Amino acid sequence: MIYAGCDLGIVSAKAAIVEDSDLLASEILPYKSFPDQAAVQVMDMALAKVGLSAKNVDHCLATGFGGKAVPHTDGVIPDIICLHRAVRQLNPRVRTVINVGGHTFMAFNITDNGTIGESAVTDKCAAGIGMLIDVMASALEMPLDELIRASADSRHPLYINNQCPIFVESEAISLINDGHDPFDIFAGIASSVATKIAGLVGRVSLNKDVVMVGGVAKNSIVVRNLEEKLGLSLANLEGVDPQVVGAFGAALIAKERCHT
């Protein structure tokens, strides 16, 4: 039987296809409008990777900021539940999960008996999370991947004073106009993001192993800065894209619901 999960965030739609608890395929689709259409499209794209279509899906669950907008689902599950389920499947040793996406970020513990422990979440402002990084890439007029690679060697990251993305963008433009290297600016922003994430993690017990999921987990500069601030190396999830972990968890729960 085939099970599916769709994680509809504020900047991208993610889909995961599962059979027998194995991740068959996944897909990520950035979007700017019509999230319901993006949810359908990303699911079709993921299914097409393994020669399937929507009619082959036996059960589908949605999660994420826009989970209720996902058409043709059999229910909506909170993202923390989906992340917990997926992480337990991928790396049972993990005891602290950090999720950093486009709009919100959270941290939570997993107890030794596998349940969710302490948690902390913020969604009041995009400062320090995925949307801020995207705004900066736009302001610096470079593809994000290129910025990350080039800024990795920065020796003089510039301290960023502001927290709001609008003001950070203005500050970055002012720094460019003053002749500063855009890669030093982006390196400073990455350090600021890591500091904000570390502050949130400080609101829960930092129990090893620690994993980071969500789109920002793919930003190597932020990850490096965060590891330095936390004094540890982040765990891995068996090669699964950290951005699709929520969708994978939703698909696993969809399977379990069909067998209860």
State how beta strands 2-8 and 96-100 pair: unpaired
Q: 40 and 29 in contact (C-beta within 8 Å)?
A: no
**220 and 98 share one domain:** yes
- Provide the residue range defining the domain that includes 204: 93-235
Q: Which helix (H) or strand (E) holds 223?
A: helix 220-230
pTM: 0.92
Nearest Cα to 126, choosing from 159, 161, 164, 160?
A: 164
**30 and 80 share one domain:** yes
Distance CA 29, CA 15 (A): 9
Q: What's the domain count of the chain?
A: 2
Q: Token pair for residue 64?
A: 């994420």
pLDDT single digits (tens) 149-192: 989 889 889 877 666 767 777 888 888 888 899 899 889 888 88
**53 and 132 share one domain:** no
**131 and 4 share one domain:** no
Give the pLDDT band (50/70/90) at residue 125: low
Q: Which helix (H) or strand (E) holds 194?
A: helix 182-201
**71 and 194 share one domain:** no
Give the pLDDT band (50/70/90) at residue 128: very low
CATH number, position 21: 3.30.420.40
**19 and 99 share one domain:** no
**22 and 79 share one domain:** yes
Measuring CA to CA, how many Å separate 160 from each of 27, 86, 117, 123, 166?
A: 34, 35, 34, 21, 13
**134 and 207 share one domain:** yes
**107 and 231 share one domain:** yes
**82 and 143 share one domain:** no
**214 and 139 share one domain:** yes
Distance CA 31, CA 173 (A): 25
pLDDT single digits (tens) 26-84: 999 998 778 999 999 999 999 999 999 999 999 999 999 899 999 989 999 999 999 99
**184 and 248 share one domain:** no
Distance CA 225, CA 174 (A): 24
* Confidence at residue 127, expressed as pLDDT on a 0 to 100 scale: 46
